[in-house]
Amino acid sequence: MKIILILILTSTFVVKASVVFVDKNATGNNDGSSWADAVISISPAVTIAASGDEIHIAQGTYLEGIQIDITKSLSLIGGFSTGGGAQNTVQFETIINGNDSHRVINSHTAGGLTIVLDGLTIRHGNSTTLGGGVLIGTSMGVNTLSINNVQIMSNQTTQYGGGIFVSNTNTSITKSLIFGNTASSISSVDAKGGGIYFENSDLIISNSRILGNKSGSSNTNNSYGAGIYIGDLANVKITNSVINGNNLSCKQACNGLAFASGSDVTLVNSNVTFNTYTSISSVINGSIFMSENTIEFFNSIISHNNFDDIHLENGAVQVVNNSYIRYANPVGNNNIDATVIGFDAGFVGSNISNFHLLSTSILVGAGDDSLLPLDDFDIDNDGDFGETIPLDLDSNLRISGASVDIGAYEFQVLVFYDGFE
């Protein structure tokens, strides 16, 4: 009886997060207590908020003048209309602009924080150290970071992580865009991670796009991972996503045009496409570069990169099943043999932006349904986290025909009202 009483009492005390409101156009008391009295900039709202609170930010461009320092668990949520209402990130874009003068968001504390970034555009950040747009890390313990429906664009750093640098922080990136960020090296440091630099924890990327990022060295150093760089002691899974159109420049070795990793990586129904290099060096180590550990490539595509291969060194291992690698016939289960003369994978277009499948593509229905993960982040917002991930990168059905397609985009089988296709 005493045990039951304790459980009942424990469940009674549920702390509900408070909301601090931000609206650059508000004219009220500037205390954040309501939309009418919203704080007019974000940094003061972060100071006002208690640990665990949400900060709701109305549409508009916010030039803070300094980086936003987060030292407690917080959720920064954008996409609201001036004066409030339902979140709509397309209609009510919330932009935090570093004006190319400072990093946009920074959190480097003793650890144990939970940070949520939702419905924001983070752009034009600039750092001479780590993380041009966002830096999240900890010297002790492990943080948790959720990035959902966020655009991280046109940020730069002269070290690691042009768009975002994350360390010791278990992270999910869902329905987001990492675009046009740059990591450059002008000193004795290698250039790593134009879009994302990640280390020492778990990373899940789902239904997201890593596009047009750059990593490059103007000196004698190496360059790694124009799209993503994964350091040591990490575990990474990338699902329903594309790493496309990134560029690696170097005077020494170019290692991983799309991404480079020193930790385990799994790609499921993802595309690594049109990644390029600019180099005076003859050492080009793959569109994917793996040092040690294992890369698993399931239901996925490597195509139209300057080099369409997985470079393995220091005992790294690859596992490739139900996948297509241009010009290759990789060892594994049910892979596509692309070594046949005149082979055509059947893409709608072989340009930088279109790797959708024709109805006649050999990749249609050639995937393995059992390799799909569960919908851990409720991509379709139906409250069912136990179902197989239901949507592709275009938010269409992930399985439209008899079985799943290879790649991030599912060919949509048309079914008419009378049941005939």
Higher per-residue pLDDT: 31 or 138: 31
How do residues 345-357 score in pLDDT, each as one tens digit?
A: 999 976 666 799 9
What is the edge-to-edge ordering of all strands in the sheet holding 105-109?
Answer: 68-69, 105-109, 134-138, 164-167, 196-199, 228-230, 259-261, 288-291, 310-313
Q: Which pLDDT band holds residue 17 (cuts at 50, 70, 90)?
A: low
**What number is the average pLDDT over the span 218-224?**
79
> Could you tell me if residue 327 is inside a domain?
no
3-state helix, strand, coil in the chain (%, to 5): 5, 40, 55
Residue 46's SS3 state is: helix
> Could you tell me if residue 47 is inside a domain?
yes
Tokens 């609170």, residue located: 53
Radius of gyration for the chain, computed over Cα atoms and rounded to the nearest angstrom: 22
> Could you tell me if residue 195 is inside a domain?
no
Four-point Cα dihedral 198, 290, 271, 285, nearest 10: 110
**What number is the average pLDDT over the span 197-205?**
96
Report d(CA 17, CA 97) in Å as an integer: 27
Greatest alpha-carbon pair distance for the chain in Å reads 76
Number of domains in the chain: 1
Task: Read off the pTM.
Answer: 0.93
Task: Characterize the bridge pairing of strands 121-123 and 151-153.
Answer: parallel
Q: What integer pLDDT is reported at residue 421 of this predicted model? A: 45
Q: What is the sign of the dihedral through the CA atoms of 367, 406, 292 and 283?
A: positive
**pLDDT of 420 strictly over 60:** no
CB 28 within 8 A of CB 38: yes
Report d(CA 227, CA 181) in Å as an integer: 9
Query: Environment class of residue 200 by beta-carbon count within 10 Å: exposed (0-12), middle (13-18) or buried (19+)?
Result: middle
> Could you tell me if residue 293 is inside a domain?
no
- CA-nearest of 84, 90, 171, 92 to 134 is 171
Q: What integer pLDDT is reported at residue 9 of this predicted model? A: 32
Cβ neighbours of residue 420 under 8 Å, at least 6 residues apart?
A: none
Percent of the chain predicted with pLDDT > 90: 81
Q: Which of 20-24, 214-218, 277-281, 335-339 has the lowest mean pLDDT?
A: 277-281
How do residues 119-152 score in pLDDT, each as one tens digit?
A: 999 999 999 999 999 999 987 778 999 999 999 9
Residue 42's SS3 state is: helix
What is the edge-to-edge ordering of all strands in the sheet holding 121-123?
Answer: 60-62, 94-97, 121-123, 151-153, 177-179, 209-211, 242-244, 271-273, 301-303, 324-325
> Could you tell me if residue 372 is inside a domain?
no
> Could you tell me if residue 410 is inside a domain?
no
CB 410 within 8 A of CB 363: no
Range of the domain at 106: 18-179
Report d(CA 329, CA 322) in Å as an integer: 11
**What number is the average pLDDT over the span 400-412?**
97
Q: Which of 246-250, 280-284, 409-413 has the lowest mean pLDDT?
A: 280-284
**What number is the average pLDDT over the span 169-186?**
95
Q: What is the sign of the dihedral through the CA atoms of 27, 33, 36 and 42?
A: positive
Higher per-residue pLDDT: 420 or 405: 405
How do residues 54-93 score in pLDDT, each as one tens digit?
A: 999 999 999 999 999 999 999 999 999 999 999 999 999 9
How do residues 330-343 score in pLDDT, each as one tens digit?
A: 999 999 999 999 99
CB 267 within 8 A of CB 296: yes
> Could you tell me if residue 164 is inside a domain?
yes
**pLDDT of 284 strictly over 60:** yes
Task: State the average pLDDT for the chain.
Answer: 91
> Could you tell me if residue 175 is inside a domain?
yes
Q: What integer pLDDT is reported at residue 253 of this predicted model? A: 85
